[in-house]
Chains A and B, each alone.
Chain A
């Protein structure tokens, strides 16, 4: 077994009922672990784009890509391992906030470029778009205030334009 790596894989697939379960089913039946999966229709309603983040060694990753390519509904698979990409994830997070520390929390949010999505008595809901790393960092900074709930979209990725 080689070293474990994290890969971001982008899959263009037919937008059909069943396509998603074919892909997620492939991961579970072959014992591959998904870190995150996000999916939505593309500009062409007949196709969907799926971004999957997986970990495994090189041979497992090679198998994943080959097995994905074998699926009839899958049109294209790109493993971004050797390609510069723009990767973003959306975070919604609700933290405990009292009158006294709400200001401080919002200030922390500002440092990260996060926005305030909602404020209620005793809590503030923040939103942040960023790399997975940035979101991890932000969540860590908010931990001391008391996190009520976090929701993450999972990463989406696109290749950087070639110069």
Chain B
């Protein structure tokens, strides 16, 4: 069949079963957009910024497990998706990013809107392609989806010069299969290694099961639960793993690490075996590595061999797909009853994993999140931006099911949540979609309120407004002598410095409620604890998008906290 390059790009998306594409047009992708004009097989969502398109594609991927797709023009358009691509890369999210490029003969000439995007994106993509010959385009598209989805998932970028989009391929056929000699991810775990793991679990006196985002990526949550229940191992989940094991399960001991619970951190330090599944021992989890889990042998199940022994020395590695490995392991592992170790862990866990000082006079940000969990019963997908509100969400919302927390864990990208929530909502998850945001983060991609409004995407936006860049302010409070340098969002050039922000008479800019209404979105504000539930219910009752702003305690800190570079037993509590 005869097709242009632009038609091939679009047909490949159809063949790959893509349901929604996010993007923004520009000079070098006009041929592709011209094809999209008649495309009925998938929805195209015009965002208001290319970064929004990348995060929306990412959010869609996190909610569904399918590859998210975004499309941007060359130069600035492509540069604007880079933050989104890096975000997906750090969290191993499958994504295919398609960028336009200047015509091949102009490559390298500093042509208008030219950026060497394969060069720029090399270290933040799983792989990338610059298409120089239209005959390669079908295979490149097929390979891009294959690489993005398989093994340890990740973003793949395809850079398409405009002359390739315009060129015609006489005998187009979309390939059925794909084979790349340099890319053969290991799927099956080695049976001998799995036997060793079973033996180590049997021999351990104080075992701990530690799971991460890899369990969610592999869809191995049911198998993880089976292993935990069969062996009575306490379970901790990295931030990226939240939802991989029910947050309300008796064996769940909370998230570990910098803002993890005391119980999980203590169990890390006291256990004699860590069975890690799809977690990469990020520095936010381990704290000071040399003093991390001093008594523990480490078993590491991971699809990426390079994750094994990268940070901590592993005793038994098993490389492969988490689901397959866990199925094999569950068959041979000996059941363990609850014992003294389980008992002491449950004692450390106590009644509540996290707690804060409630207040009758000001809204505690944690209380909003707790209330949201109560009202939704966990039947929702919660996106977040990055900062204090993100950590409070991890602490106070119980994620009972996989793919219910959508948040930038690795890169920590402010501005991620709102566009990601659009992507989630457009995947028709069959439950409400929230974005919990701080007043700082939300302003980084707030233009997407227009996309949300115009397309009536049912995103419920919760803004916890403390008028600060709270997480940085917290570090300044704790480690920089309360010198709040550029973290107060009310501060202008006329501010001479202030000692008591609660006395500040300046108005917060923008007025989020007015702003939301300007975008045509219903908005509500809560200023006192008595309004919290009412406001949440009002926002949820709206048919379509809604904005709920909560004026919260300004100088609330996230506790517990293991300061950067300290070991997991050096915990600060409020």
Contact = CB atoms under 8 A, between A and B. Distances in A.
A69 B130 contact: no
A13 B181 CA distance: 10
Residue among B123, B181, B305 facing the most chain A CB atoms (10 A cut-off):
B181
A13 B306 contact: no
Given A67-B306, A70-B306, A72-B127, A25 B182 contact: no
Nearest to B123: A29
Contacts of A21: 119, 122
A70 B130 CA distance: 19
A152 B32 CA distance: 49
A74 B182 contact: yes
Nearest to B306: A66
B309 interface: yes
Interface string A1-45: 000000000000110011001100110010000000000000000
Given A18-B118, A59-B309, A63-B310, A70 B123 contact: no
Nearest to A14: B182
A72 B183 contact: yes
A62 interface: yes
Nearest to A19: B182
A87 interface: no
Nearest to A47: B181
Contact of A70 (B119, B304, B308): B304
Contacts of B180: 72
Nearest to B151: A70
A29 B147 CA distance: 22
Contacts of B183: 72
Interface string B286-325: 0000000000000000001110111001000000000000
A56 B183 CA distance: 26
Contact of B182 (A26, A63, A71): A71
B91 to A, nearest CB: 17
Interface in B223-238: none
Interface string A70-90: 111111000000000000000
Contact of A18 (B123, B130, B181, B313): B130
A63 B147 CA distance: 21
Interface string B262-288: 000000000000000000000000000
B158 to A, nearest CB: 13
A14 B129 CA distance: 13
A25 B118 CA distance: 12
Interface string A41-70: 000000000000000000100110011011
Contacts of B181: 75
A151 B305 CA distance: 38
A17 B107 CA distance: 13
B306 A25 contact: no
A72 B184 CA distance: 9
Nearest to A71: B182
Given A14-B182, A62-B309, A72 B147 contact: yes
A62 B123 CA distance: 19
A144 to B, nearest CB: 45
B75 to A, nearest CB: 19
Nearest to B132: A17
Nearest to B304: A70
Nearest to A13: B182
Contacts of A67: 306
A21 B116 CA distance: 13
Nearest to B118: A18
A143 B310 CA distance: 43
A25 B128 CA distance: 14
A67 B126 CA distance: 11
A73 B182 contact: yes
Nearest to A18: B118
A159 B122 CA distance: 31
Most-contacted residue by chain A among B123, B126, B304 (CB, 10 A): B123
Contacts of A69: 305-306
Contacts of A71: 127, 182
Interface in B110-124: 118-119, 122-123
B180 to A, nearest CB: 6
Contacts of A14: 182
A63 B305 CA distance: 9
A75 B306 CA distance: 16
A74 B118 CA distance: 17
A18 to B, nearest CB: 6
What 4 pairs across the A-B complex have the smallest Cβ distances?
A: A66-B306, A72-B127, A75-B182, A29-B123
Interface of B: 118-119, 122-123, 126-127, 130, 147, 180-183, 304-306, 308-310, 313
14 contacts: A13-B182, A17-B130, A18-B118, A21-B119, A22-B122, A62-B309, A63-B309, A66-B308, A69-B305, A70-B305, A71-B127, A72-B127, A74-B182, A75-B181
Given A62-B309, A67-B306, A70-B306, 6 more contacts: A17-B130, A18-B130, A63-B310, A69-B305, A74-B182, A75-B182
